[in-house]
Amino acid sequence: MAGNWKMNLNHQEAVVLVQKLAWTLSDKKHDYGQVEVVVAPPYVDLRSVQTLVDGDRLRIGYSAQDVSAHESGAYTGEVSAAMLAKLGCDYVVVGHSERREMHGEDDAVVNTKALRTLAAGMTPIVCVGEGLEVRKAGRHVEHTLDQVDGSLAGIDPEQVASLVIAYEPVWAIGTGEVATPDDAQEVCAAIRGRVRDTVGADAAESVRLLYGGSVKSSNVVGIMDQPDVDGALVGGASLDPAEFAAICRYYALPALSLLLILLVLLHKGRGGGLSDMFGGGMSSGLGGSSVAERNLDRITIGAGVLWFACVVGLGLLLRAGS
Ligand code: PGA
């Protein structure tokens, strides 16, 4: 899971966010082996993040948001791959749609940046994805695969295997519009297929594919459920440490829901009557709250209090036992 902060947070705010994120994740015993956690702060924050991560031996990785296409020299305002490697960056985002759109970066530039990143020993997160017009015309797969071909040109098969490719439909970035899990799966499967055809089955198996575009804790589970989606590139929601931690811990969310449902069923006895409990069923409760409200009698309120006590009690027991 990678959090792209874009042009937000100064170096002091960056330290605060990474600390909060690390605390939240360690508090919840996050399994870093299962889900890698990466933040992508602005350039000027990287040294502070490096100091914090090294000093506190945090398992959070960090990425730059861009890199120069040039090696070194008279390129005012640019930052080289060697400089980012020296700051301990694990990753570099290249070809983000905001760079492609606002700075005219084409696939050739993105490809050069990816090659520079790899040469400096870091991993590029190569961003691809279609705009609204292309999506409406139904050419999103073809368009995205063209970007994949152009951005990955000349990269060694072993290096392609280690890459991260982020599919970010431009119409879903920062708009609140989220592609459906099926949309994400359709394009990610096509990208994996293209890597298989052009580079080989091993590279297709190990390349990591992220989905990006309005990912939140409320929609991440469905997206991560897709067989060809390996992670997410998160923008706005990564600026809130609790929210980003919840996204990183998406694997725990279904378990929590299951636990709550089990508690409801246990309370009700012999596993029946969930709909009675909510006075006429979950769906009527969602569709027309007045029906649910009418049926929300004292028993339900008492049951709710009991479930809450059970959850808190269980949490305390688990904490005491660990
Ligand atoms: P968003 O941004 O999550 O705010 O839509 C994603 C991105 O641009 O990487």
Q: Who wins on pLDDT, 307 or 318?
A: 307
Is 168 an active-site residue? yes
Q: Is 112 in the pocket of ligand 1 (CB under 6 A)?
A: no
Give a three-class secondary structure readout of 125-187: EEEECCCHHHHHCCCHHHHHHHHHHHHHCCCCHHHHHHCEEEECCHHHCCCCCCCCHHHHHHH
Q: Whose CA is nearest to atom 2 of ligand 1?
A: 235
pLDDT digits (tens, 9 = 90+) for 177-215: 889 999 999 999 999 999 999 999 999 999 999 999 999
Q: Compute, in angstroms, the gap from residue 299 CA to the centroid of ligand 1.
A: 44
Q: Compute, in angstroms, the gap from residue 178 CA to the centroid of ligand 1.
A: 10
- The catalytic position among 30, 96, 140, 143 is 96
Q: Compute, in angstroms, the gap from residue 288 CA to the centroid of ligand 1.
A: 33
pLDDT at 293: 52
- Residue partners of 187: CB distance under 8 A and separation at least 6: 129, 140, 141, 144, 167, 169
Question: 140-152 and 107-119 are packed helices; what angle lies between their axes, rounded to 10 degrees?
Answer: 40
- The catalytic position among 36, 130, 168, 243 is 168
pLDDT digits (tens, 9 = 90+) for 211-264: 999 999 999 999 999 999 999 999 999 999 999 999 999 999 776 666 656 665
Is 96 an active-site residue? yes
Ordered alpha helix ranges (H), 7-64: 11-27, 46-55
Q: Is 2 in the pocket of ligand 1 (CB under 6 A)?
A: no
Q: Compute, in angstroms, the gap from residue 216 CA to the centroid of ligand 1.
A: 10
Q: Whose CA is nearest to atom 7 of ligand 1?
A: 235
pLDDT at 26: 97
